[in-house]
Chain A
Amino acid sequence: DSGVTQTPKHLITATGQRVTLRCSPRSGDLSVYWYQQSLDQGLQFLIQYYNGEERAKGNILERFSAQQFPDLHSELNLSSLELGDSALYFCASSMDGYNEQFFGPGTRLTVL
C-alpha cells in the first residue's frame, strides 16, 4: 500500500458523459500527478500539480481538466467522454515534486 488513495475503483459510464476521479496523496506529499494507462498507449503522463499550482502538463486532452485543492487532494475531470477514454487512470504523489513518485491503486474507467 503506497499511501495514495483513489476513488472510485471502478466507473462505468456512457459516451458524452462527465466524470470526476479523486485522489488523496500520501501524508506530507505536496505534488500530485495524473497518468492514463491504456493497452495500446502504455502509461502516459497527463498533468502535475504542486501545492495547488499546475507545474507540468503532458498529453492531456482539452476535454480533461484537473485541480489540486488546499487540502492537497486532487480531482481529474473528464467530460464529453468517448469510447477511447476507457483506461486505467492513476494518481501518483511525491514529496516535493522532484523525488520518486508513489502510485495509487487506480480508477478503471469504462465508457460504453
Chain B
Amino acid sequence: EDKVVQSPLSLVVHEGDTVTLNCSYEVTNFRSLLWYKQEKKAPTFLFMLTSSGIEKKSGRLSSILDKKELSSILNITATQTGDSAIYLCAVERETSGSRLTFGEGTQLTVNP
C-alpha cells in the first residue's frame, strides 16, 4: 500500500522566516509527487514533480524531488501570514488510472 509521511505535523514561525516542509513516500511505480495548500476548504494545487521535473519554483515557494531518497521538500521563504495553511503532499503511481495518496499534512502557522 502506498504511504506518504509528512513532517513536521505542525510548525509555528514568525513572518519573514524561511520554512522547510518534508515529505517522504513509499509507492509502487512512482509517477509524480504533488504539493497542495489547504486553507479553509479546498486544496489548492502548488507543484507537480516528476522524474523529468524534479525542481519547481514559484515566487517564494520552491520544491525539490529526491527520487533516490524517496522524498521531497517544500521551501517557503520570507513567510507571510497568508501562508498559514495545511500543506499536503501526495504521490501518484503509474497505473492505467490516477489516484493520489495523501500525507497527513503540515499545519503551518505564521505569526505577525
Place the interface of chain A in its size category.
20 to 34
Question: B48 contacts A43, CB within 8 Å?
Answer: no
- Give how many A-B residue pairs fall within 8 Å (CB-CB): 63
- Complex partner residue of A106 from B42, B97, B102, B104, CB under 8 angstroms: B42
Question: A97 contacts B41, CB within 8 Å?
Answer: no
Task: Name A's interface SS.
Answer: strand
Interface size on B, residues (CB 8 A): 22
Question: A90 contacts B97, CB within 8 Å?
Answer: no
The chain A residue with its CB closest to the CB of B92 is A98
User: Which chain B residues border A64 with CB–CB below 8 Å?
Assistant: none
* B12 CB to nearest chain A CB (Å): 21
* B51 CB to nearest chain A CB (Å): 14
A33 CA / B36 CA spacing, docked (Å): 16
Per-position binary interface string of chain B over residues 83-112, scored 1 when its CB falls under 8 Å from any chain A CB and 0 otherwise: 000001010000111111111110000000
Question: A101 contacts B100, CB within 8 Å?
Answer: yes
